[in-house]
Every structure is written in structure tokens, then in C-alpha cells.
């Protein structure tokens, strides 16, 4: 079960949790109660997140993204819950 989420906005900074863990159908809920996997809604695979930091004062972005990966499932990862 792969999920892709893209957010592009410069209006105001937002928390990663506003996109990944706080929504009613968050990635955590999707990893243990997926509606697409009827025979077995549990997804015990790992996950990953990637993002770029805010632009610097001169408007430059880092060329390398920040990356967080885990071999544990989203519903069992305490670092994801804290983001």
C-alpha cells in the first residue's frame, strides 16, 4: 500500500502532523484499517517521509530533502506519532 502526498505552499509553515497523522484518515489509520485492502486491512510494512525545509533568507532551498524512513509499520512507530 503506497501513498503519495504532495503539499506545496509558502503562505505559512504547517506541521507535518497536519498532513500525515492528524487528518481523520491519517496514514496511521490507513496502515491498520485500509479500506482498499478488503481481505486483510492491516499493512505491516514500513514507511517513509521526505520533505524540504523552508527557504533561507536569500530564497534558496536545500537541494537535498530531509528523509525519515522506518521498517516498522506506521501504527507502531512512536517517532511518527510525535511529528
Residue 2 annotated among the catalytic residues of the structure: yes
Which one, of 28, 35, 24, lies nearest residue 49 by Cα? 28
Q: Of 2, 5, 6, 67, which one is the catalytic site residue? A: 2
Task: Provide the β-strand partners of residue 66.
Answer: 51
Strands 47-51 and 66-70 come out as antiparallel
Would you name the residues annotated as active-site residues? 2
Amino acid at each position: 500500500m503506497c501513498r503519495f502526498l504532495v503539499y506545496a505552499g509558502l503562505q505559512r509553515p504547517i506541521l507535518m502532523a497536519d498532513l500525515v497523522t492528524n487528518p481523520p484518515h491519517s496514514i496511521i489509520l490507513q496502515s491498520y484499517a485500509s479500506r482498499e485492502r478488503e481481505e486483510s486491512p492491516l499493512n505491516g510494512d514500513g514507511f517513509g517521509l521526505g520533505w524540504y525545509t523552508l527557504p533561507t533568507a536569500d530564497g534558496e532551498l536545500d537541494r537535498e530533502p530531509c528523509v525519515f524512513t522506518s521498517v516498522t509499520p506506521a501504527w507502531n512507530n512512536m517517532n511518527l506519532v510525535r511529528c
